[in-house]
Amino acid sequence: MPRASETVLVDGPAGPLQTLIDEPETLCGLALVAHPHPLLGGANSNKVVYTLAHCLRDFGYLALRPNFRGVGKSAGAHDHGAGETEDLLVVLADAQERWDASRALPVILAGYSFGAFVQTRVAKRLVEGGRPAEQLILVAIATGQVEGNRHYQPEPVPRGSLLIHGGRDTTVPLANVLAFAEPLDLPVTVIPGADHFFHGRLPVVREIVDRDLRSSSRACAPKG
């Protein structure tokens, strides 16, 4: 039976980072899961983030859900993606020191909305450091001009990255994601009828992620 989520404080660049940890029965990898926009109510308790973390945990990944700076008990203030990138890198490094001193375990980066945007920046930094992530799972990624007159330009991501988007997303129009994915030759998995928040569609999101993990050899697949 899975353990209850554990809350820890990780020393971050702007102060402590409140982080939820979901530990698997058998550790086969590390997963960093990033939440949506902090100034719009985003937190590590978000239902999409919760779904991603628990799916990854069930596949043998230690799932890390930090609150970005300024959210919950995390210190600091919103930094439009730059400081949040540093936050995620620090949380990952801390987990590697605690659970993976050899840094041999595969790493998955997952994110939702603003969190998915930040994960593209984290992925770039890991590539530059010579230890790229095994997979990116980007759900409703913030890209282009989005609701609220905000603009995002994610970093390019590797082929094989998993992009999931709602067919009726009015916060981040599907056309924005297709424009991001086209030059990268990336397919986009579209959930018809789903909005940006995936109301009533979370089981479908989980099924898509589950299928992607089962089709790979990245970690321990759950029994059944």
Q: Domain segments of the chain: what residues? A: 6-214
Per-residue confidence (pLDDT) for residue 151, from 0 to 100 = 97
Q: So what's the pLDDT on residue 146?
A: 97
Give 77: exposed, middle or buried? Use CB within 10 Å, 0-12, 13-18, 19+. exposed
CA distances to 24, 101, 133 from 98, rounded to whole Å, are: 15, 7, 18
**pLDDT < 70 regions, the chain:** 1-2, 217-224
pLDDT of residue 136: 98
Confidence at residue 4, expressed as pLDDT on a 0 to 100 scale = 85
Q: How far apart are CA 206 and CA 216, in angstroms?
A: 16
- CA quadruple 144, 134, 8, 87: dihedral sign: negative
What are residue 150's phi and psi, to 5 degrees? Answer: -105, 150
Cα separation, 201 vs 117, whole angstroms? 21
Query: What is the predicted pLDDT for the residue at 217?
Result: 59
Q: In this predicted structure, what is the pLDDT of residue 11?
A: 96
CA 120-94-114 angle, 5° bins: 25
CATH code of the domain made up of 6-214: 3.40.50.1820
pLDDT tens-digit series, residues 127-178: 999 999 999 999 999 999 999 999 999 999 999 999 999 999 999 999 999 9
